[in-house]
Structure 1
Amino acid sequence: MNLISRYIIRQMAVMAVYSLLAFLALYSFFVVIDEVGDLGKGSYNGMKMMQYVLMQMPARAYELMPLGVLIGGLISLSQLAQGSELTVMKASGLSTKKLLLILSQFGLIFALATVALGEWVAPALSQRAENLKAGAVNGKISTGSTGLWLKEKNSIINVREMLPDHTLTGIKIWTHNDKYELAEAAEAESATLNPDGSWQLKNVRRSVLGDDKVSVSSESTQRLPVELKSGLLDVLLVDPEQMSVSELATYLKHLKENNQQTQTYAIAWWRKLVYPVAAWVMALVAFAFTPQTTRHGNMGLKLFGGICLGLLFHFAGRLFGFTSQLYGIPPFLAGALPTIIFAVLAVYLIRKQERR
Structure 2
Amino acid sequence: MRIYERYIYAELLRAWVVVNLVLLGLFGFFELAGQLDDVGKGRYTIAKALGFTVEQLPQHLAELTPFAALLTVVIALGLMASRHELVILRGVGLSPVRIAGCVLKAGVALLILVLAVQSFVAPPLMQHAQRMRTAAVAGDSVAGDASYWLRTRDGVVHIARLENGHQPVDIEILEFGPEQTLTRYVRAEKADIQPSGVWKLGGVTVKHPADLNNAGARRAELDWTPSLYDRQLALLDRAPASLAPLSLYRYVAYLDAHNQDAQRYRVALWQKLALPLTTFAMLLLAMPLVLFNPRGANLGLRVALATGIGLGAFALLQAIGNLAFVFGLPAPLCMLTPGLALCGIALLWLRRVG
TM range (shorter): 0.7 to 0.9
Distance in 2 separating the partners of 1:61 and 1:87: 33
Q: Deviations over 1:20-77 (max 9, x none)?
A: 1101111222222222232222222222222111111111111112211111111111
Aligned length: 304
Q: Which runs of 5+ in 1 are unaligned?
A: 142-161, 172-187, 206-217
Distance in 2 separating the partners of 1:18 and 1:194: 42
> What is the letter of the counterpart of residue 2 of structure 1?
R
1:138 match: 138
Q: Which runs of 5+ in 2 are unaligned?
A: 162-167, 194-232
2:159 match: 193
Distance in 1 separating the partners of 2:140 and 2:330: 37
Q: Deviations over 1:304-337 (max 9, x none)?
A: 2221001111111110011123444321112212
Q: For residue 190 of structure 2, give the secondary structure of its aligned residue in structure 1.
A: coil
1:39 match: 39
> What is the letter of the counterpart of residue 155 of structure 2?
E
Q: Deviations over 1:86-132 (max 9, x none)?
A: 12112212122212211111111211121011111111101111111
Distance in 1 separating the partners of 2:140 and 2:277: 38
Please tell me whether residue 73 in structure 1 is matched to residue 101 in structure 2.
no
Distance in 2 separating the partners of 1:234 and 1:197: 17
Distance in 1 separating the partners of 2:303 and 2:234: 42
1:166 match: 148
> What is the letter of the counterpart of residue 202 of structure 1?
L
Distance in 2 separating the partners of 1:224 and 1:204: 18
**Change in 2 beyond 3 A, CA 1:41/1:77:** same
Q: For residue 275 of structure 2, give the secondary structure of its aligned residue in structure 1.
A: helix
Structure 1 residue 194, shift from structure 2 partner = 5.3
**Change in 2 beyond 3 A, CA 1:140/1:338:** farther
1:226 match: 190
Distance in 2 separating the partners of 1:59 and 1:255: 24
Q: For residue 198 of structure 1, give the secondary structure of its aligned residue in structure 2.
A: strand
Please tell me whether residue 322 in structure 1 is matched to residue 322 in structure 2.
yes
Please tell me whether residue 127 in structure 1 is matched to residue 127 in structure 2.
yes
Structure 1 residue 79, shift from structure 2 partner = 1.3
**Change in 2 beyond 3 A, CA 1:236/1:348:** farther
> What is the letter of the counterpart of residue 251 of structure 2?
Y
> What is the letter of the counterpart of residue 317 of structure 1?
L
**Change in 2 beyond 3 A, CA 1:135/1:87:** same
Conserved? CA contact 1:81–1:294, under 8 Å = yes
1:12 match: 12
Structure 1 residue 236, shift from structure 2 partner = 5.4
Distance in 2 separating the partners of 1:35 and 1:222: 38
> What is the letter of the counterpart of residue 15 of structure 1?
A
TM-score (norm 1): 0.77
Q: For residue 40 of structure 2, give the secondary structure of its aligned residue in structure 1.
A: coil
Distance in 2 separating the partners of 1:134 and 1:327: 30
Distance in 2 separating the partners of 1:100 and 1:227: 52
Conserved? CA contact 2:123–2:243, under 8 Å = yes
Structure 1 residue 199, shift from structure 2 partner = 1.6
Q: For residue 290 of structure 2, give the secondary structure of its aligned residue in structure 1.
A: coil
Distance in 2 separating the partners of 1:350 and 1:328: 35
Higher mean C-alpha displacement, 35-44 vs 116-125 = 35-44
Distance in 1 separating the partners of 2:235 and 2:338: 26
Distance in 2 separating the partners of 1:197 and 1:102: 48
Higher mean C-alpha displacement, 125-134 vs 285-294 = 285-294
> What is the letter of the counterpart of residue 148 of structure 2?
H
Q: Deviations over 1:213-267 (max 9, x none)?
A: xxxxx942122342659xxx99953221232111101211221121011222112
TM-score (norm 2): 0.77
